Amino acid sequence: MAGHLSEVARLYEKLWREAVTAFERGGPQLDPFLKNRAADLRRGVTLIVRPDSKVCERVTDFLGQIAEVAPKQYFYRRAELHLTVLSVIPVSDSWQKSMQRLPEYLAVLDTVFKNRPAFSIAFRGVTASPEAVLVQGFPLGNTLKQLRDDLRTALSRHGLGENVDVRYKVVAAHLTAVRFFTPMTDWKPLYALLAAHRETDFGKCRVQSLQLIENDWYASADTVRLLREYPLL
């Protein structure tokens, strides 16, 4: 368990260093798709965790502080906050081809989720990437890692694993909270705020169920379609 947790912590630290470099060079990377959301047809299928109301409340309060120093960025609404467990069909503009096999994906996931235990995640501190602000999540125990590994194995066994982890292997448990969208003449106040919250406690969440959703890149509330909800023991 300790090794996995340290792997997650190392990833967050790596992302933070990359973000600091971006800030020092004049600003983060702005998302080009947010300029015209209507033209963004990228979709996919994602297995997610929704944090509980207490965690969402604390994160939303923190986003209010960010809005004071960087008001024109893209903020995730409370109902949109989520943790990605696995990108089952990665979000892309060619998603419809993979969606033809959705019944096969569902059959595999239904089998994997029989008698799965609940688990907990501690949300502590913030980090950033050159593209976004993230709330750090740390799985308590090995249950989430084992679930991801079992899902990867099962999907690969049924010829459905070629697109899993196609961008990167998911090991963390973060909440994406803000995406950089609008240029700013001075990013220093935002950087200072993020640095001040590197160890802020956002609470612990007991995960009792997971959702399988069809979604756009941002898991926007107006595009999400719930496909399955998997209760945990």
Task: Tell me the pLDDT of the chain (233 aa) as tens digits.
Answer: 445 558 899 999 999 999 999 999 888 999 999 988 889 999 999 999 999 999 999 999 999 999 999 999 999 999 999 999 999 999 988 888 888 999 999 999 999 999 999 999 999 999 999 999 999 999 999 999 999 999 999 999 999 877 775 555 788 899 999 999 999 999 999 999 999 999 999 999 999 999 999 999 999 999 999 999 999 99
CB 210 within 8 A of CB 230: yes
DSSP secondary-structure letter at 70? S
Q: Model-level pTM?
A: 0.93
Q: In what order do the strands lie in the sheet with 175-179?
A: 74-75, 175-179, 132-140, 119-128, 201-207
Which of 171, 90, 82 lies closest to 134 in space, CA to CA? 82
Domains (ranges, CATH) in the chain? 2-231 (3.90.1140.10)
